[in-house]
Chains A and B, each alone.
Chain A
Amino acid sequence: MIEVINLSKSFQNNKAVNNINFNIGKNEIIGLLGPNGCGKTTTIAMILGLLKPTKGKILINKKNIEHHRIELLHKMNFISPYIELPKKLTVKQNLIVYAKLYNVKDINERIDYLSSTLRLSKIINSLTGELSSGQKNRVSLAKSLINNPSVLLLDEPTASLDPETGNFIRSFLEDYINQKEISILLASHNMVEVERLCTSVMMMKSGEIIDRGTPNELIKKHGRKNLEEVFLKLVRTEDEF
């Protein structure tokens, strides 16, 4: 479970994140939407302990990430298209390395499970650098699930993927959350994906959460046809036109 309390982050005079609050319970996927530079990645980085908040705190399973960083990271993981795995290692070697780093007990069993559920069997001995974007994405997802995390942070997990692979990843996540006790924060620009996966959505703009609710609640509240229209209504400002 994730609890974000009065969280702020400033870089010099720029407030990247300004006093945000939210909770993510077990078996919930919460969507974090907003334009580029609105503070989504900064928020995720603070939850992961990569970035020190200027103010506020983050509790993971009731423990403060600032004080229990290493202990909590054992049960957390992250995927982003902007972060890659070593290209000169095979898929299996990469998964073994991360399984060791996360102290996974039954490494072979875990890799076999992820390999079969994420369709990696045929590429398990291929060099990671030689894979297609879709294959790399599935390998990164396998890495992010190697430690069976109870908190998973997804930063645009299906960005630049073809529709089939994107759909596969979404279906996989839907099944996974039904089988495991996990809290997921999903930052995405894909509104269809967010509508399909998320139990609740937070709209971020200029470092603040400007609205939140289930996708249907937000669509109704703003009198729009879909989440994309809600997004456009909320994030656009007069000076942008």
Chain B
Amino acid sequence: MYGLFLRHFFLIKSSFPRILDLIYWPSIQIILWGFISKFFSAYSDYYNNTVGIILTCAILYDFLFRSSISFNMLFLEEIWSRNFTNLFIAPMKISEIIISLVFTALIRTLIGLVPAILLTSPLFGISILKLGIPLFFLFLSLYIFGITLGLFVSSGLIRFGPSFENIAWSSLFLLAPLGCIYYPIEILPEFFQILAKGLPLVYIFDETRNILVNNFVNFQNILNAFYLNAIYLLIGICLFYFSFSKARKKGSLINMGE
């Protein structure tokens, strides 16, 4: 019994990502639901006349989550199947790898999302299509941000190997409280508001609520999200190239998955 305990204790003790993972989930859950509770207790009449805002935001957030995870999964599956090295000795440019992952992740995401959207109408009488044409821009913006997060995480996987896997799963939950998915930015403490304004999520979800509550489109929010997305995407691509170069120096592309 003690031996089995030690086997896991040694594993946890030697891996900072594992320790972080243990602390991370409870903290994020408490922070996220703390802000949601605070919002509802202060503004209980905010959603009175608009059924489905929460569900619409949940679908949009899930789209972001799926697109990012889909991107990461494509990488993780190669690591799990020990096929990683085979891919990197194939004559593929880094740009070709990124482009193929972007399109494959889109297909994976849509396979998961379309049935969910179709279910909301008969089950809850809500159609996300009520958002109209701006919905396309909101989805596009979320997809770009999801892919960007995927690039950040995949860069970590290339550079640090499978031990970075937990970060892949938890990266989006870190942003959930700051992304203001279910509540306006004003609900956050001032310091967090400054951080949140640097994320495209705030503008995307603020605009979603704005369209549903006020029946009015503020294109400035959509543009702000795209500007920020462009910056993060560029950083993500550079980071991916940088990680590949570092991995070639360090040797982490060899026997990945072991």
Count of A residues near B, CB < 8 Å? 29
Report the nearest A residue to B90, measured CB to CB.
A101
B254 touches A51 (CB 8 A): yes
- Across the interface, which residues of A come within 8 angstroms of B89, CB to CB? 48-50, 73, 76-78
Q: How far is the CB of A47 from chain B (nearest CB, A)?
A: 10
Apart from A45-B251, A51-B254, A73-B89, list 17 A-B contacts with CB within 8 A.
A11-B251, A41-B255, A45-B253, A48-B89, A51-B251, A51-B253, A70-B91, A70-B92, A71-B91, A73-B91, A77-B89, A83-B84, A84-B82, A85-B83, A86-B81, A88-B81, A101-B91
In chain B, residues 55-81, which have Cβ atoms closer than 8 Å to a Cβ of chain A? Answer: 77-78, 81
Q: 4 nearest interchain CB pairs?
A: A73-B91, A101-B90, A84-B82, A52-B248
Bound form: Cα–Cα A234–B134 in Å: 72
Known interface pairs A83-B82, A84-B81, A143-B86. Does A50 touch B253 (Cβ–Cβ under 8 Å)? Answer: yes
Name A residues whose Cβ lies closer than 8 Å to a Cβ of B: 11, 41-42, 45, 48-52, 70-71, 73-74, 76-78, 80, 82-88, 98, 101-103, 143
B255 and A83: CB pair below 8 A?
A: yes
A82 near B91 with CB under 8 A, answer no
A101 near B92 (CB under 8 angstroms)? yes
**Complex interface: chain B residues within 8 A of A76 (CB):** 89
In the complex, chain A residues whose CB is within 8 Å of the CB of B258: 82
B86 and chain A: residue at smallest CB distance: A83
Residues in A whose Cβ lies below 8 Å from that of B82: 82-84
Contact B81 A102 (CB under 8 A): no
Q: Given A70-B91, A73-B90: A52 and B249 within 8 A (CB)?
A: yes
Contacts of A82 in B (CB 8 A): 82, 255, 258
Q: Contact: B83 with A51, CB < 8 Å?
A: no
Chain B residue with Cβ nearest A143: B86
Once A82-B258, A83-B82, A83-B83 are accepted as A-B contacts, the answer to whether A103 and B91 lie under 8 Å apart by CB is: yes
B250 in the interface (beta carbon within 8 A): yes
Does B43 touch A at the CB level, under 8 Å? no
Q: Say whether B85 faces chain A, with CB atoms less than 8 Å apart.
A: yes
Binding site for A on B (CB under 8 A): 77-78, 81-93, 245, 248-251, 253-255, 258
18 examples of A-B residue contacts, CB within 8 angstroms: A45-B253, A48-B89, A50-B85, A50-B251, A50-B253, A52-B245, A52-B248, A73-B89, A73-B90, A74-B91, A82-B258, A83-B85, A83-B255, A84-B83, A86-B77, A88-B81, A98-B90, A101-B90
- In whole angstroms, what is the CA distance A73 to B86 when docked? 11
A50 contacts which of B81, B91, B93, B254 (Cβ < 8 Å)? Answer: B254
Main secondary structure of the interface of B (DSSP, over half): loop
Chain A residues within an 8 Å CB radius of B251: 11, 42, 45, 50-51
Query: Which residues of the partner chain A approach B85 to less than 8 Å between Cβ atoms?
Result: 50, 78, 80, 83
Q: Contacts of A48 on B, CB cut-off 8 Å?
A: 89
- B92: chain A residues at CB < 8 Å are 70, 101
B254:A87 contact, CB within 8 angstroms: no
The answer to whether A85 and B91 have CB atoms under 8 Å apart is no
List residues of chain A with CB within 8 A of the CB of B255: 41, 82-83
What residues of B have a CB within 8 angstroms of the CB of A84 in the complex? 81-83
Nearest CB in chain A: distance from B95 CB, A = 11
Instruction: Kindly state the separation between the CA atoms of A98 and B84 in the bound complex, as whole angstroms.
Output: 13
CB neighbours of A83 from chain B (8 A): 82-86, 255
Q: Are A50's CB and B249's CB within 8 A?
A: no
Q: Given the complex of chains A and B, what is the CA–CA distance between A88 and B78 in angstroms?
A: 11
Taking the closest CB of chain B, its distance from the CB of A36, in whole angstroms, is 13
* Centre residue among A50, A76, A143 by max chain B CB count within 10 A: A50
Q: Bound state CA distance, A82 and B87, in angstroms?
A: 14
Chain B residues lying within 8 Å of A80, measured Cβ to Cβ, are: 85
Distance, CA A143 to CA B87, complexed state (A): 12
**Cβ-defined contact, A102 with B90, below 8 A:** yes
Check B250–A11 contact: CB distance below 8 A. yes
Given contacts A50-B254, A51-B248, A51-B254, contact A102 B91 (CB under 8 A): yes
Nearest-neighbour CB distance to chain B for A113, whole angstroms, equals: 20
- A209, B250: Cα distance in complex, Å: 22
Closest Cβ of chain B to A127, distance in Å, is 12
B91 touching A86 by the CB < 8 A rule? no
- A3 → B minimal CB distance (Å): 19
Name B254's contact: one of A45, A85, A102, A103 (CB within 8 Å).
A45
In the complex, what residues of B have CB within 8 A of residue A41's CB?
254-255
Rounded to whole angstroms, the CA-CA distance of A101 and B83 in the bound complex is: 14
